[in-house]
Amino acid sequence: SKLLAGSPHRVHNYFAHLTKFVDSPNLSYYDMVNRRFQSMSGMMVEQRRDDFRLEKDKCAMYRFFAANKLPHMPMVGVWTSRQRFVSDLRSRIIHRNITSLRWPAFVKMCHLTQGYARSTTRIPSPSWLVHHTERLVSWVDHKWAYRADDRERSWRTAANAMTDTILPGVMLQNS
């Protein structure tokens, strides 16, 4: 079976740790997600593990891809200061750095990963950026203040405990 191709690989303890939370073969998908987040949140508190950032922080994820030579779309820049990003945008420093991009380009909020947060916006062209700078500033301001919240999920407490530790950030990415 082709599924056996992965069998000689060891599962990292961070993910194998989940087995202590699985007590039935009949758990639903949502039960498994809930228990996975409980496991990850528990390791964050008990062992000071931050491996969850690979999933819950887009900028950390892309840095991991780059450091491990995994295929990914290049990051043009990452800002951990909203004021610096807005300043670079309004002063057109960003514009100079993106003249060689393939278009469209994308602005992504690092600390928001849930789809409902709509944390990625498309910049169709350099001229769009010039003419819509304040629109992009307004979008970044709104998203910077927005915090992830799995409000309608059974894993809300565990997931929010992790995402609450992630500082806001913004990434500009090539297509």
Task: Specify the pLDDT at position 121.
Answer: 96
The predicted model scores a pTM of 0.83
Tokens of 73: 């779309």
Burial (Cβ within 10 Å: 0-12, 13-18, ≥19) of residue 166: buried
List the chain pLDDT tens, one digit each, 175 residues.
Answer: 455 655 666 767 777 777 777 888 888 999 988 988 999 999 999 999 998 999 899 999 999 999 999 999 888 899 999 999 999 999 988 877 676 677 899 999 999 988 888 999 999 988 898 899 999 999 999 999 999 998 889 999 999 999 999 999 999 998 7
Give the pLDDT of residue 1.
46
What does the radius of gyration of the chain's CA atoms come to, in whole angstroms?
A: 19
CA–CA gap between residue 140 and residue 135 (Å, rounded): 9
Using the 8-state DSSP alphabet, how is residue 10 labeled?
P
Between CA 53 and CA 44 the distance in angstroms is 10
Interatomic CA distance for residues 154 and 33, integer angstroms: 9
CB 174 within 8 Å of CB 148: no
Q: What is the pLDDT of residue 142?
A: 97
Q: Provide the strand spans (E) within the chain.
A: 75-79, 105-109, 120-123, 170-173
Enter the tokens of residue 92.
Answer: 């057109």
Look at residue 99 in the predicted model and tell me its pLDDT. 64
The pLDDT value given to residue 6: 56
